[in-house]
Amino acid sequence: MAPDYTKDTLLGASRYTIHVDEETSRLKGTLLKDIRRSVFVYRVDCGGCNGCEIEIFAAITPIFDAERFGIKVVSSPRHADILLYTGSMTRSMRVPALRAYHAAPDPKVCVAYGACGCSGGIFHDAYCVWGGADQIVPIDAYIPGCPPTPSATIYGFAMALGLLKQKLKTSHHMQQEDEHIHPRHPEIPLDLRIDVERESRRMAGYWHGKKIADAFLDLIQPADPQVEQHIQEHLRQQDDPRLTEIFARLQEIYRAHPKGE
């Protein structure tokens, strides 16, 4: 419910007073009770074009004001709750990236920021690039984009805040002898699954590529003689030129595989 506004006159000047209803006050009190402290973010530039940094700085300016959510940028990883990795992971920044990771206190959340931070971006095949940040440090959240918008940046930070709360209350599970984890698509050879997922992630990014690979593997059942027809029908339903291009490459891998012919 929106607050009520009343207008008073004091010494000839108008003054507006905000009256908040009881339900709004209760909800606000609950929210402030849940948010117990601010979260500190440290940025690690691993080798980017500085476009991501511009959007990060835009997110903390008064227009978007990320600090209203308790998100603050700090100058030392020793004070950080979240490590924000931007740019492609270059060879020269591998050791500094690891030093920043080990310097940050536990529990910490690592976020890959931008297309380059998530997968290497347009520099993924450069001679001095390892790939995305997940090639060196364990990544908990990804904020894609080239560069991500300030609103996407704040949304990604909000996700990281949720992950931080999970890590503060983490629990460890020891797998028992009678517990078995069954992988997806066990009927498809392991090396074919790896090749399909690796190529899909290379072409479409880490998270979206994984979804495309799963969709493709769902369509290539070994005992189904109409695999090609199922793939073409799926592409007609999606009507996405980029998806068609990726599927064409995955079909080449599938046909070249000894058990995929």
**Which one-letter DSSP state was computed for residue 79?**
G
221: tokens are 């059942």
Helix (H) or strand (E) holding 126: none
User: What pTM was estimated for this model as a whole?
Assistant: 0.51
Q: Strands 89-90, 129-131: parallel, antiparallel or unpaired by DSSP?
A: antiparallel
d(CA 115, CA 245): 19
Write down the domain spans for the chain: 35-167, 190-260
Q: Does domain 35-167 sit in CATH 3.40.50.12280?
A: yes
SS percent in the chain: helix, strand, coil, step 5:
50, 15, 35
Q: Is residue 80 helix, strand or coil?
A: coil
Instruction: Dihedral sign for Cα 81, 120, 143, 201, please.
Output: negative
Distances in whole angstroms, Cα of residue 171 to Cα of each of 76, 105, 167, 174: 28, 18, 8, 10
What are the per-10-residue average pLDDT scores of the chain (261 residues)?
44 43 59 59 83 81 76 83 85 85 80 84 79 82 84 79 65 78 81 89 83 87 76 85 88 78 44
- Count, residues in the chain: 261
pLDDT of residue 21: 60
Q: How many helices (H) and strands (E) does the chain have?
A: 9, 9
Contacts of 155 (CB under 8 A, 6+ apart): 143
Q: Is residue 212 helix, strand or coil?
A: helix
pLDDT of residue 27: 58
pLDDT of residue 9: 42
171: tokens are 């629990």
Instruction: Say if CB 209 and CB 203 are below 8 A apart.
Output: yes
CA 94 to chain centre: 20
